[in-house]
Structure 1
Amino acid sequence: MALSDRFNKLFGLEDEQHTPASQENSQITTDNKVIPMDNISDSKSKIALFEPRIFSDAKEAAKQLIAGQAVILNFERIDDTQTKRIVDFLSGTLFAIDGSIEEVGTQIFLCTPNSFEINGSLYANIQNGDLSNDDLNKE
């Protein structure tokens, strides 16, 4: 018995090295329906909240959209001229990634990449009187 065989036997490595080829091949063959757990990413979607103060704050929102996250923007603390510039900039970003933008409240916008789907319109329901501010405060 060679020295390496004794060493392997001592540490229990002998079984691993002498595995028949037929057993190795059966372990490697996998069904196409099996997905390794390593390839599954975190399936939680994220929404970033922004309250821009200046136009350059829109860059960070655009980065989040490109990364696949939805963005809610609150424009209550910025003037209308800057709001229009930011919305125009983000509209271009959304066009490039096939996303969408929707006003969900007074000066509050929801921007979503194409992986998100928006159903309904809260803002339209408030304007039509279907949902009043009193209903929102009851919760």
Structure 2
Amino acid sequence: MSVMNKFLNYFGLQEETPDTGKEAFDAEEEQEIETPAFEQRKQIGKHNVVSIHSQKNVRVILTEPRTYDEAQEIADHLKSRRSVVINLQRVRRDHAVRIVDFLSGTVYALGGHISKLGPNIFLCTPDSVEISGTISDLYAEEADYSKMR
């Protein structure tokens, strides 16, 4: 009932009509319509909370192996789901090739990725890290550029 109807009923100027429940239903609809949009979004969004920090301690390991035997330590870091940057400039060429072959197999078995960052520098990542983009070989570009002159 509206306020005006209640007022008229109080003074006996109008007959009281029984409450059919329809007015109560209309009042609930009005209350739902009047709920601010930000409160509705708040109610909807409170169940969709997703943490953007999936791993608390993300580490990137920098290594400079001097022998082939250190390749297993690098593989252990990959198994622990850590990214590893490997600088092979201090290793003999034949050992560097063997290390890269070993790490390529390790990365493949773990479902990760391996990328060349520069001359004798590689990045190995586990499957939880995605590598996008490329780094071009500057030395090859400079050689091509000097030939064009």
Using the size of structure 1 for normalisation, the TM-score is 0.60
Q: Which runs of 5+ in 2 are unaligned?
A: 1-46, 143-149
| One-letter identity of the residue aligned with 1:80 | R
1:85-124 to 2 correspondences below 5 Å: 85-122=98-135, 124=136
Equivalent residue number for residue 48 of structure 1: 61
Q: Shift of residue 104 of structure 1?
A: 0.4
Q: Name the larger-Rg structure.
A: 2
For 1:83, the equivalent position in structure 2 comes to 96
User: How many Å separate the matches in 2 of 1:78 and 1:52?
Assistant: 7
Take 2:100 and 2:133, find their aligned partners in 1: how far apart are those partners?
21
Contact 2:62 2:84 in 1 (8 A): yes
Q: 3-state SS of the aligned residue for 1:71?
A: strand
Matches within 5 A, 1:1-139: 33=47, 42-122=55-135, 124=136, 126=138, 127-128=140-141
Structure 1 residue 119: deviation in Å? Answer: 1.4
Q: Quote the offset at 1:90 in angstroms.
A: 0.7
Residue 43 of structure 1 and its aligned partner are, at CA, apart by: 2.2
Listed one character per residue, the Cα deviations across residues 71-123 of structure 1 (whole Å, up to 9, x for unaligned) are 0000000111000111111111111110111110110000011111111112x
Unaligned runs of 5+ in 1: 1-32, 130-139
Quote the sequence identity (%).
Answer: 38
Checking the alignment, whether the CA contact within 8 Å between 2:118 and 2:137 is kept in structure 1 is: no
1:41 to partner: Cα distance: 7.2
